[in-house]
Structure 1
């Protein structure tokens, strides 16, 4: 009986972990649509704010803002800000 309870708890933990991971991926995919360049060539409205942060030496804050806005991982956020610096 106890082994069944432990097994069920393990399954529940696994399902919660998988659900959390999938929610992050869905959020990233939804927000990814917003990263496309707009017709005026400016891109997402937050890009101006991110570029300003980089100019002011606040690259870490810019990465954090990009991650929050687009649902990016740390590496993806850094790459995104690096691409903005190159533009």
Structure 2
């Protein structure tokens, strides 16, 4: 199996370097992290939709009808917040 990940010491273009991150305020870092989590969630939903569509297509071609139940979100506890 081929390893497609970038070398450990490489920095992707347009990425934030450690010195840049260290110069940012706490609020700016929190905002960056929040935006990162939102982007990761969006990408996860897009991947899930794509895979479900592929499964439905394959099942349809085999004459099988499939449906998916959405997982229930855990609502216990508080939303995780960043420590001050």
Q: TM-score, normalised by structure 1?
A: 0.40
Q: TM-score, normalised by structure 2?
A: 0.42
Q: Which has the higher contact order (CA 8 A, sep 6+)?
A: 1
Query: Which structure's residues are more often helix, by fraction?
Result: 1
